[in-house]
Amino acid sequence: MLKIGFVGWRGMVGSVLLDRMRDEGDFAGIEVHFFSTSNPGGAAPEGGANARLRDARDIRSLAGCDVVLSCQGGGYTTEVFGELRATGWDGYWLDAASTLRLRGDATLVLDPVNGDLIRERLAGGCRTFVGANCTVSLLLMAIGGLIRAGWVDWVSTMTYQAISGAGARRLAELARQVRHLGECGARLRGASSVEIGAALTDAQRDESFPTEEIGAPLACSVLPWIDRAVENGQTREEWKAGVEAGRILGASAPLKIDGICCRIDALRCHAQALCIRLNRDIPLPEVESALLSGNDWVRLVENTQAATLRELTPAMVANTLEVRVGRLRRLSMGRRYVGAFTVGDQLLWGAAEPLRRMLSILREAA
Ligand code: HSE
Q: What is the DSSP track for 56-73?
A: TT-HHHHHT-SEEEE-S-
Nearest CA to ligand 1 atom 2: 165
Distance CA 303, CA 343 (A): 14
CA of 56 to the centre of ligand 1 (A): 24
* 41: exposed, middle or buried (Cβ count in 10 Å: 0-12, 13-18, 19+): exposed
Is any atom of ligand 1 closer than 6 Å to the C-beta of 133?
yes
Which atom of ligand 1 is found nearest the CA of 98?
Answer: 8
Residue 301, helix vs strand vs coil: coil
Are the C-beta atoms of residues 81 and 91 closer than 8 Å to each other? no
CA of 226 to the centre of ligand 1 (A): 8
Residue 258 has phi, psi (to 5 degrees) of -155, 165
Which residue, among 95, 51, 101, 49, has the nearest Cα to 76 in the 3D structure? Answer: 95
SS (H, E, C) 137-166: HHHHHHHHHHHHCCCEEEEEEEEEECHHHH
Ligand 1, pocket-test mutation among 12, 98, 110, 161, most atoms within 8 A of CB: 161
Tell me what percent of the chain is helix, strand and coil, each rounded to the nearest 5: 40, 20, 35
CA of 134 to the centre of ligand 1 (A): 6
Query: What pLDDT is attached to residue 159?
Result: 98
Nearest CA to ligand 1 atom 7: 134
All residue ranges of the chain with pLDDT < 70 are none
Residue burial 143-169, b: 16+ Cβ < 10 Å; e: rest: bbbbbebebbeebbbebbbbbbbbeee
Catalytic residue among 134, 180, 261, 269: 134
Residue 45, helix vs strand vs coil: coil
261 is a catalytic site residue = no
Query: What pLDDT is attached to residue 51?
Result: 87
Is any atom of ligand 1 closer than 6 Å to the C-beta of 165?
yes
Query: What pLDDT is attached to residue 29?
Result: 87
CA of 165 to the centre of ligand 1 (A): 4
Residues 256-280 pLDDT 10s: 999 999 999 999 999 999 999 999 9
Neighbours of 212 (CB within 10 A): 9
Query: What pLDDT is attached to residue 220?
Result: 98
Which atom of ligand 1 is found nearest the CA of 132?
Answer: 8
CA of 95 to the centre of ligand 1 (A): 15
Is any atom of ligand 1 closer than 6 Å to the C-beta of 344?
no
Is any atom of ligand 1 closer than 6 Å to the C-beta of 161?
yes
Contacts of 259 (CB under 8 A, 6+ apart): 155, 156, 157, 158, 159, 238, 241, 272
Which atom of ligand 1 is found nearest the CA of 240?
Answer: 1
Catalytic residue among 65, 261, 269, 270: 270
Is any atom of ligand 1 closer than 6 Å to the C-beta of 128?
no
Which atom of ligand 1 is found nearest the CA of 161?
Answer: 6
CA of 194 to the centre of ligand 1 (A): 35
134 is a catalytic site residue = yes
The whole-model pTM stands at: 0.97
Which atom of ligand 1 is found nearest the CA of 166?
Answer: 5
Nearest CA to ligand 1 atom 5: 165
Nearest CA to ligand 1 atom 6: 165
Angle at CA of residue 122, ends 119 and 123, nearest 5°: 85
Nearest CA to ligand 1 atom 3: 165
